[in-house]
Amino acid sequence: MNAHVFSFAGTDLHFLGTGALYWPARELLCVSDLHLGRSERFARRAGALLPPYETRDTLTRLEAAIEMTEPQIVVCLGDSFDDHAAQSGLDDVARLWLIRLMAGRRWVWIEGNHDPGPVDLGGTHMAELPEPPLTFRHIARVGAAGEISGHYHPKARVAGRTRPCLVHDSDRVILPAFGTYTGGLRTDDAAIRDLMRDEAIAVLTGPRPLTIPMPR
């Protein structure tokens, strides 16, 4: 498995090069910020026409992560849809694809700031998920420990190339956005920098996850 393995809150976690996080002890796969339907929202709200393939691409990569890890639990860590209307606007192919991926496992939709309402695709919808010693939520909380979150879409630049990345220290893990067309926030932005301890590291996505001190 192409992964960066690290110890966090007394348990071992595997960060996959695709941007997903796997917790072997619980057979739990976590992805953040799928933003399904982003091109549809751009067209609906701003008239911007992006190639409408990001949902297919995101679901293809999600399916590959599921096939690789065979999880019993999948946690989608908020902003799974680009807005509430994007969920209802899913075409039949994407809807059936998601239902097939959900079959036979526990599936948890964590509330995000883009998609606060309930979903009608099955699974469990929660504000946050406590799975001691970890807690899964969309946006990091100051003072939290053992926390897995997303929201900020962290990215870092190495050798002239910017890549999405996971950042973690002894208190928290912030996942990159998993969805296509999601962009990101550099780790030296105060919104991320001020959350992380000085010893924080970044793990860049790619064929081989690259670990560096978190750029500040």
Whole-model pTM: value is: 0.91
Instruction: Quote the percentage of the chain above a pLDDT of 70.
Output: 86
- Predicted confidence at residue 44, as pLDDT, reads 43
- 122, two tokens: 């099955």
d(C-alpha 104, C-alpha 155), whole Å: 33
pLDDT < 70 regions, the chain: 37-53, 82-89, 116-119, 181
Gap between the Cα atoms of 94 and 164, Å rounded: 25
Which tens digit of pLDDT belongs to each residue from 21-32?
999 999 999 999
- Please name which of 61, 70, 78 lies closest in space to residue 22, comparing C-alpha atoms: 70
Domains of the chain: 3-213 (3.60.21)
